[in-house]
């Protein structure tokens, strides 16, 4: 089948999509957007998290065909050119990134949290990121990054 979908603001088209194909596969293998990672394909790790019409989803669990006529935003679409989103900048500065494989999913999940809850409590951060596994960092620096991004947004200086 053919799928027409808006990705990071661009109108994109994928052909010969198989009915059972995931959004993640379409992004990575057909549309040249390998930023979202495949680490379990079962909704267990959160590495594939993307926005679908502004709702974060595990792209491995969404059928590509379901995205027909809808909007998808991936980790590649968060920064404005070289200008990183405050969440991305905070991940780098707080040291929340090691191997980086969990990072794209975490950045999207944290981005979504801060849009909904600008000043989250620690339990709210932990809850929002509960579906994102990281094997490297021990999580502490990821929580620091989210706190840092929240502070930045609250101060308004970095708001966009």
> How many CA atoms within 13 Å lie on the side-chain side of 73?
15
In the list 1, 4, 44, 159, the residue contacting other proteins (rule: CB under 8 A) is: 44
Closest to other proteins by CB, 56 vs 104, is 104
Which residue, 47, 25, 29, is CA-closest to 100?
A: 47
For residue 5, what is the DSSP state?
A: E
In the list 6, 70, 124, 126, the residue contacting other proteins (rule: CB under 8 A) is: 126
Residue 32, interface with other proteins (CB under 8 A)? yes
60 binds, among other proteins, ligand FES, none (CB under 5 to 8 A by kind): ligand FES
Residue 45, interface with ligand FES (CB under 6 A)? yes
The tokens 């909704």 sit on which residue? 43
Strands 10-14 and 49-52: unpaired
Residue 49, interface with other proteins (CB under 8 A)? no
Helix, strand, coil percent values for the chain (each to nearest 5): 40, 15, 45
- Which stretches of the chain bind ligand FES, using CB under 6 A? 38-41, 43-48, 58, 60, 97-102, 134-137
């Amino acid at each position: 089948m053919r799928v027409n979908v808006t990705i990071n603001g661009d109108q994109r088209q994928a052909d010969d999509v198989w009915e059972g194909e995931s959004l993640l596969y379409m992004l990575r293998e057909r549309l040249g957007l390998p930023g979202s990672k495949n680490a379990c394909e079962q909704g267990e790790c959160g590495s594939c998290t993307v926005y679908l019409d502004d709702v974060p989803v595990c792209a491995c669990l969404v059928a590509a065909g379901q995205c027909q006529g809808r909007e998808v935003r991936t980790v590649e679409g968060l920064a404005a050119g070289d200008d990183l989103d405050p969440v991305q900048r905070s991940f780098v500065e707080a040291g929340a990134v090691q191997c980086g494989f969990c990072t794209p999913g975490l950045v999207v999940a944290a981005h979504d949290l801060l849009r909904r809850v600008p000043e989250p409590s620690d339990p709210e951060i932990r809850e929002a990121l509960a579906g994102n596994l990281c094997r490297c960092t021990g999580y502490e620096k990821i929580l620091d990054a989210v706190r840092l991004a929240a502070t930045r947004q609250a101060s308004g200086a970095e708001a966009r």
